[in-house]
Structure 1
């Protein structure tokens, strides 16, 4: 009985490996539009696809980021300035893309642009702090997708949305985890609706990586600013010791973050170039061995884990 089961699992894995190694033809003729290419995952993916011969359309937030990317890539790669929080910027970028892809359509849309601050204990935040992150990570992604979909549908192409393990397990307050849960829901709906047109939608769920969004150079000042702006009642309830412990945890997170971003961009590349891309890609050992299994545990167990491992407010019961 066990022998048959092992053989069945082995055969299934061989078939899956065979399917996933099948590559889309004529990659050099396919256009891919990537947001957030100034640094991090987007920057590396743009260079990676350019080396593979694909036609990369890289959206950067700043001209400096665009110029640095062009200096490190071939003449095939083109850049455009895009602020995903501004409708006029998205409309202009969409027209720019249409002029380049023409009747071939857009093979790949990679929604990578994202921020993580302001983040901190929920009570330290206000509505604008949540909105700032949601405008980029979720609403901006949605608006870019809606504008680019006709071109993607024409090419029967791919949409690749960058979520996070925080879209499965919420570890801290602020808009970041909320936005990533939203990315998951939006992607699931989009995948089912676009399947009738031959368009495939993939979700990338990275673990902890050293990028601009997770850098302590951004997170530490953000938390300190939130503390300075907090009311005297909030400061009294949480206490200085809580703040110091919270900042220590950020420093520890920075130390365990992985520097090899190719673990994520390889997943993105596979989603764009494989004939049979996966629905979800978990990148990093912590995503596969910790956060993914944790997302399936009973809520009470997950809550207990965070209760005993998180900093305790001064007036905790």
Structure 2
């Protein structure tokens, strides 16, 4: 009788690969389970709310519905008076929350059109106002082991236009990150809210166009000629298109973020408020600079004397 043929190399290889393949699948399953557990824990932590939040005090700047004290965030003496008034109100409990919501956006436009005062007027409110308010109220916040909620913007992640607004919002992001790490050990939590475009006084077309006309009219003839009248007209049309397309009237998307940052046991570091923030601006902020530059150049008009 002929002897049986020797085993082929294929059988040997399959036998040797089987444990390796099984281990690879095991690691994949383990990673998937860990990811699912992490997501469930994150959702659970995110839903926890502080039980006695109604007994705590919150100071909000730039909130037109609550008028309890006059405050000018560009005036140091006004900030100190507000702090002393708050100190008497909160007593030994300290301050639970400071919401830096006051801000201004104008003037915005091409950088070359700006004068130094155009930068200062925005930075005094949006940047220095936030910093001075926070530093002045910090002792009360330490006593209350409270929260700082700074309202930045998606334009603090993507510098889409000139003027002081984007600069100030990038500064708010940076200041908040530094502050959060520095005061973490005192039990104070710092959150940043990054709203997209919403229908507010900041995005109203009438003042935007009025400021653009002011900037245009104050330019020297040489600078104006380098851009051209067509550029100016198209620039205004782009602003109208953006504001009409993107501005969301539902401000609860922002206030819900504020509420969560003040009442959650584990507030988030950053809140993206609005669909345009979540699915357009924040993803764009991670894009390569060359890609982002190309995108913005396609949206904005081209100057008459461009090379």
TM over 0.5: yes
Q: Which residue of 2 aligns with 1:219?
A: 208
Deviations 1:128-156 (A, max 9, x none): 00000000000011111111000001000
Q: 1:218 to 1:3 in 2, by over 3 A?
A: farther
Q: Which residue of 1 aligns with 2:177?
A: 188
Q: Which residue of 2 aligns with 1:306?
A: 296
Listed as ranges, the matches of 1:196-235 within 5 Å are 196-235=185-224
- Structure 1 residue 286 corresponds to structure 2 residue 276: yes
Q: Which residue of 2 aligns with 1:19?
A: 45
- Choose which of 117, 129, 137 in structure 2 pairs with 1:140: 129
Listed as ranges, the matches of 1:74-85 within 5 Å are 79-85=68-74
- Structure 1 residue 149 corresponds to structure 2 residue 175: no
Question: Structure 2: which 5+ residue stretches go unaligned?
Answer: 1-24
Provide the rounded CA distance (Å) in 2 between the counterparts of 1:218 and 1:278: 34
Query: TM-score, normalised on structure 2?
Result: 0.89
Provide the rounded CA distance (Å) in 2 between the counterparts of 1:197 and 1:149: 11
Provide the rounded CA distance (Å) in 2 between the counterparts of 1:152 and 1:220: 40
Larger radius of gyration: 2
Listed as ranges, the matches of 1:55-94 within 5 Å are 58=66, 66=67, 79-94=68-83
| Secondary structure, aligned partner of 1:275 | coil
- Structure 1 residue 259 corresponds to structure 2 residue 285: no
Q: Which residue of 2 aligns with 1:178?
A: 167
- Choose which of 143, 150, 158 in structure 2 pairs with 1:161: 150
Question: Structure 1: which 5+ residue stretches go unaligned?
Answer: 44-57, 59-65, 67-78
| Secondary structure, aligned partner of 1:159 | strand
Listed as ranges, the matches of 1:36-47 within 5 Å are 36-38=62-64, 43=65
- Choose which of 247, 261, 267 in structure 1 pairs with 2:236: 247
Deviations 1:234-256 (A, max 9, x none): 11001111111111111112212
Provide the rounded CA distance (Å) in 2 between the counterparts of 1:172 and 1:94: 35
Q: Which residue of 2 aligns with 1:95?
A: 84
Query: TM-score, normalised on structure 1?
Result: 0.86
- Choose which of 283, 292, 316 in structure 1 pairs with 2:306: 316
Provide the rounded CA distance (Å) in 1 between the counterparts of 2:206 and 2:37: 48
* Residues 238 and 299 in structure 2, CA contact (< 8 A), matched pair in contact too: no
Q: What is the CA-CA distance between 1:3 and the residue it aligns to?
A: 4.8
* Residues 99 and 149 in structure 2, CA contact (< 8 A), matched pair in contact too: yes
Q: What is the CA-CA distance between 1:196 and the residue it aligns to?
A: 1.0
Q: What is the CA-CA distance between 1:5 and the residue it aligns to?
A: 4.0
Q: What is the CA-CA distance between 1:85 and the residue it aligns to?
A: 0.6
Deviations 1:95-115 (A, max 9, x none): 111110010000000000000
| Secondary structure, aligned partner of 2:158 | coil
Deviations 1:146-189 (A, max 9, x none): 11000001000000000001111100000000000000010011
